[in-house]
A and B are shown apart, each in its own frame.
Chain A
């Protein structure tokens, strides 16, 4: 027997379907528009000031034209390198503890709560912490202190995504590993973490991209440096710092360089994230989930 549908009900259903689809599409557009708008605006404002000098030369004294941000680009690289060396291993380690070893323990709950709180701490406070812990005892600003501030900021994001991704690994995969006579730590590292690794890498990339654009924690740690420096023990320039200084300065030339700097910063972050994704996605097998 065929089911009779009243035409009103089927029209109503079609209308609802249309509306919900429409809302979802609108929301998607609202997400994409600001991103595209910012990028297009940066291209319009900054692309014209980009030339080889921008990547190869250090800043020139105020009032002179020309110069570039070579020291800031490399400085940002040094700072983010230090930050990743601190944030990624500690964050992943903490996430593994939360998901695999400490499930349900008081310590794990305390660590999880601390990580969430740390995630909400304003970035300038991180800068102050690094300032009082490293800069004051050493009595000088340094790339190291800036990197530590950024690294600590990465920890909660990395730890919590690692935990979430590990919790998504089905328990039967762990049982399979234990059933083969693997020790617990071996099963965690070679099976659970490996299975969750695409998600964990995404978490690391999110944390990386977030701190790459941070200015506030660097103000009284890395400080900025008009000259070439890659020494972690000295003041160092960073792209966000340089953009901030130039954008708030009085000179038209500096404003243009600031726009170019912002463009380069975004492109470099996208490149770094894509590169890591490409490198880590090689060797993924057909049909692997």
Chain B
């Protein structure tokens, strides 16, 4: 089951660049939440702060509090632990190129020392079914490399890989921006199904996509969160002038 996320006074820096300023918001459990905003506004940095990926860059710094479920991720836990509970799907599909489809999906468990072969088979099958890829790859699980799939299939493989570790939250950083429309709609259908089991945070440049998949939408601009409300409200009756300008295409 998904858990809620509560962010309080979150600030983030890259070197001297203050990329996130005083972010406060509550993301409800088992909802899809979309983050929109022009390039460089900080939305990717924001999701990378939710699984402590931001700090893997040596010049990056974070202050503030992020609670995921009952865990304060910057004070109570190690990054490794958090990332098992908060899965991530990246902008460009990044399957492990030397591994088979099976090993890609199983990698998070296998490389963390999980040994039970029979249940590993079940987890791989379930994850691939959940990411709507099973029927396309079930005959080549062990014989084909993850890199041999098409871009859209690779991205669904990456989703399966993230699901296999059984996270509570799934972060998606523009998961469909490198994909064609058919693959994009498959990913969107997937998000729809997955939110019954996970809390989903999706960064997107595509406002129709936000409108289609998300219950709540947050609008970021210049490192600040301008507005956070139900998707319906953001797209029909935003309270901030800047949000309105952005969604009506007057800038960005």
CB of B239 within 8 Å of the partner chain? no
B158 proximity list for chain A (CB < 8 A):
176
Report how many residues on chain A are interfacial, defined by Cβ distance under 8 Å.
25
B31 proximity list for chain A (CB < 8 A):
none
* A288–B90 touching, CB < 8 Å: no
CB of B51 within 8 Å of the partner chain? yes
CB of A63 within 8 Å of the partner chain? no
Q: Which interface residue of B80, B82, B98 has the most chain A CB atoms within 10 A?
A: B98
* A287–B92 touching, CB < 8 Å: no
* A180–B161 touching, CB < 8 Å: yes
CB of B195 within 8 Å of the partner chain? no
Q: A178: nearest residue on chain B (CB-CB)? A: B56
Which stretch of B22-30, B120-128, B141-149, B206-214 is in the interface? B141-149
- Chain B nearest CB from A228 CB (Å) reads 43
* B83–A178 touching, CB < 8 Å: yes
* B108–A288 touching, CB < 8 Å: no
Within 8 A of B (CB), among A159-189: 170, 172-173, 175-183, 186
CB of A289 within 8 Å of the partner chain? yes
Our pick among B53, B80, B148 for the contact of A285 (Cβ within 8 Å) is B148
Determine the distance from Cα of A183 to Cα of B97 in the docked complex, in whole angstroms: 19
Known contacts A181-B80, A181-B112, A285-B100: A172-B144 contact under CB 8 Å = no
Determine the distance from Cα of A286 to Cα of B147 in the docked complex, in whole angstroms: 9
* A181–B144 touching, CB < 8 Å: no
Within 8 A of B (CB), among A41-100: none
Determine the distance from Cα of A181 to Cα of B81 in the docked complex, in whole angstroms: 6
Known contacts A178-B53, A288-B145: A194-B98 contact under CB 8 Å = yes
Return the CB mask of B52-80 against A: 1 if under 8 Å, else 0.
01001010000000000000000000011
B165 proximity list for chain A (CB < 8 A):
180-181
Within 8 A of B (CB), among A225-274: none
Determine the distance from Cα of A178 to Cα of B162 in the docked complex, in whole angstroms: 11
* B94–A176 touching, CB < 8 Å: yes
A173 proximity list for chain B (CB < 8 A):
94, 96-97
A175-B56, A180-B83, A195-B97 known, 17 other contacts, Cβ within 8 Å = A170-B94, A173-B96, A176-B96, A177-B111, A178-B53, A179-B51, A180-B161, A181-B81, A181-B165, A182-B111, A182-B112, A191-B96, A191-B111, A285-B143, A285-B144, A286-B148, A287-B144
Chain A residues in the interface with B (C-beta under 8 A): 104, 170, 172-173, 175-183, 186, 190-191, 194-195, 197, 284-289
A-B contact pairs, 30 of them (CB 8 A): A170-B94, A172-B92, A175-B53, A175-B94, A177-B96, A177-B107, A177-B111, A178-B56, A179-B53, A180-B84, A180-B161, A180-B162, A181-B81, A181-B82, A181-B84, A182-B80, A182-B111, A182-B112, A191-B96, A191-B111, A194-B98, A195-B96, A197-B98, A284-B98, A285-B145, A285-B148, A286-B145, A287-B148, A288-B145, A288-B148
